[in-house]
Amino acid sequence: MVAATQVVGILGGMGPAAGADFVRLFVQACAQQMRARDQSFPEHWLAQVPVPDRTDALASADSGAHQPLEPMLQALGRLAALGSRAVAIACNTAHAWHANLQERFPQVELLHMARETAQQLAWQGATEVALMATEGTYRVRLYEQALAEAGLGCHVPLADERQTIMRGIFDGVKAGNMPLAEQCFSQVALRLAERHGPVTIIMGCTEVPLGLQGSAAVAGLNLVDQAQVLAAALARRAYGAHQPH
């Protein structure tokens, strides 16, 4: 007997590789959590739309075509029109506009990546973490606020390490240079572990897990893929559940 499900959506395109990989994580979560097989997978839609760079937009207060809110609103509107009851955003920095998006579409539950990750880590008993993210994510304190609300402390990289992360994102993953991405991301992860001990490290940009997949350099570190956490949360919504199993 096929379990009753509801339609869910994924707002991607930031970048496209992360959006496509999020679909894989979502399907994987459905198979693991709900033992979904073949036609028992829930209906889900991916909106891969061109969205201006979120970090650049946060650095500028000017309005215009470089701002990402309007294309994200259009994409969310399409997902809502397709019947999506819950939507996940496959980009951390885009959550700076989470409140604006949720306000415009109150009929859709717009999951919050940082809050889902913080709640999951608190549920698992973590007390402090380190964060690898974009400059935009650090600027709006996306994770620091969510982690504090969940009672967790947060360590962030030094300024030069943040630049190394950004290089891994843009010159690495987004440019298709995965060896460079692995080099940049592993360097920062190892430095965080050296300074702060065996803390959980949140890979707080959807490009970071892509660059560290299969990396032997960080094999001993406790890395959390926030996209995986969000995909699992979306899978639970698709099957009408909210809490981790």
Spell out the domains of the chain, with CATH numbers in brackets.
8-112+228-238 (3.40.50.1860), 114-225 (3.40.50.1860)
Query: Quick check: pTM over 0.85?
Result: yes
3-class SS at 105? coil
| Confidence tier at 3 by pLDDT (50, 70, 90) | low
Q: Which residue from 242, 236, 194 is spatially nearest to 217, judged by alpha carbons?
A: 194
Model confidence pLDDT, tens digit, residues 105-131: 999 999 999 999 999 999 999 999 999
Q: What is the mean pLDDT of the chain?
A: 94
List of residues 6+ apart from 80 with CB closer than 8 A: 9, 87, 105, 107, 108
The predicted structure's pLDDT at residue 244: 65
47 pLDDT above the threshold of 70: yes
Nearest one of 102, 129, 103, 86 to 221, comparing CA atoms: 129
| pLDDT 10s digits, 163-200 | 999 999 999 999 999 999 999 999 999 999 999 999 99
